[in-house]
A and B are shown apart, each in its own frame.
Chain A
Amino acid sequence: MKANPINYKAFNWLSSSALLIALLLSLPIFVVLSSVFGGFGPTWSHLAATVLPDYVVNSSLLLIGVALGTLLIGVPTAWFTSVCEFKGKNLLSWALLLPLAMPAYIVAYTYTGLLDFAGPVQSTIRELTGLRYGQYWFFEIRSLGGAVAMLTLVLYPYVYLLARAAFLEQPSNSLEVCRTLGYSRFQAFFHLSLPMARPAIIAGLTLALMETLADYGTVQFFGVSTFTTGIFRTFYGLGDPAAAAQLASLLLTFVAFLIILERYSRRQNRYHNNSEQRPPSSLIQLSKKHSVYVWLACLTPITFGFLIPATVLAYWSLTEAAFELAAFASLAWNSFYLALSAALIAVVLSLILAYAKRLKSSPAVVSAVTVAGLGYALPGTIIAIGILIPLAWLDHQIIDLFDSLFNIELGLMLSGTLFALLFAYTVRFLAVSLGAVQSGLDKIKPNLDNAARSLGYNNTGVLHNIHVPLMHSSLLTALLIVFVDVLKELPATLILRPFNFNTLAVHAFELASDERLIDAAPASLMIVAVGLIPVILLSRSISQKREQN
Chain B
Amino acid sequence: MNLAKQLTPPLLELKNISVGYGKKIIVKDVSLNIAPGEIGCLLGPSGCGKSTLLRAIAGFEPVLAGTIALFKQVISKTNNTLAPEHRNIGMVFQDISLFPHLSIEDNICFGIKHLSRQQRQTRVKQLLELVELSDSAKSYPHQLSGGQQQRIALARALAPKPKLILLDEPFSGLDAKLRETLVPQVKAILKQEKVSALIVSHDQAEAFAIADKIAVMHQGEIHQWDDAYNSYHHPATKFVANFIGTSKFIPATTVCEHCIETSLGRIESKEPHGFIAGTRVDLLVRIDDVTHDSSANYCGTVTKKDFHGSSYTYELILSDGVTILCSVPAKYDMKHTIGDELQLKLNIENLVLFER
Contacts and interface: CB of A to CB of B under 8 A. Distances in A.
B100 interface: yes
A453 B157 contact: no
A457 interface: yes
A323 to B, nearest CB: 46
Interface string A440-471: 00000101101111111110010001100110
Contact of B60 (A6, A452, A455): A6
Main secondary structure of the interface of A (DSSP, over half): helix
A447 B93 contact: yes
B160 A456 contact: yes
Contact of A450 (B52, B58, B87, B160): B58
A454 B165 CA distance: 10
Nearest to B97: A447
B224 to A, nearest CB: 22
Contact of B85 (A448, A454, A466, A469): A454
A291 to B, nearest CB: 36
A451 B87 CA distance: 13
Given A6-B59, A470-B101, A455 B95 contact: no
A448 B159 CA distance: 17
B99 A458 contact: no
A176 B265 CA distance: 57
Interface string B41-57: 00000000001100100
B93 A450 contact: yes
A326 interface: no
A1 interface: yes
Nearest to A4: B60
B354 interface: no
B70 to A, nearest CB: 13
Interface residues of B, number: 31
B110 interface: yes
Interface string B71-114: 00000000000011111111101110101110000000011000
B100 to A, nearest CB: 7
A461 B58 CA distance: 18
Contacts of A1: 51-52, 55
Contacts of B90: 454-455
A448 B99 contact: yes
B151 interface: no
B280 to A, nearest CB: 39
Contacts of A470: 100-101
A455 B52 CA distance: 19
Nearest to B101: A469
Contacts of A448: 97, 99
B101 A456 contact: no
Interface string A406-424: 0000000000000000000
A132 to B, nearest CB: 70
Interface centre among A445, A450, A461 (most CB of B within 10 A): A450
A457 B100 CA distance: 17
Nearest to B109: A455
A461 B99 CA distance: 14
B218 interface: no
Interface in B140-182: 153, 156-157, 159-160, 166
Nearest to A1: B51
A450 B95 CA distance: 12
A461 B97 CA distance: 17
A470 to B, nearest CB: 6
A465 B107 CA distance: 11
Contacts of B86: 456
A507 B59 CA distance: 59
B335 to A, nearest CB: 38
B97 A445 contact: yes
A364 to B, nearest CB: 15
A451 B93 contact: yes
B99 A450 contact: no
Given A445-B95, A447-B97, A6 B84 contact: yes
Closest CB pairs A-B (n = 10): A455-B111, A447-B97, A453-B84, A454-B91, A1-B51, A447-B93, A456-B85, A451-B97, A469-B101, A6-B60
Interface of B: 51-52, 55, 58-61, 83-91, 93-95, 97, 99-101, 110-111, 153, 156-157, 159-160, 166
Given A453-B85, A454-B89, 15 more contacts: A1-B52, A6-B59, A451-B91, A451-B93, A451-B99, A451-B157, A453-B84, A454-B59, A454-B157, A455-B85, A455-B156, A456-B85, A456-B86, A456-B88, A456-B160
23 contacts: A1-B52, A3-B55, A5-B60, A6-B59, A6-B60, A6-B83, A6-B84, A447-B94, A447-B95, A448-B99, A450-B60, A450-B97, A451-B93, A452-B99, A454-B84, A454-B85, A454-B166, A455-B110, A455-B160, A456-B85, A456-B86, A456-B111, A469-B101
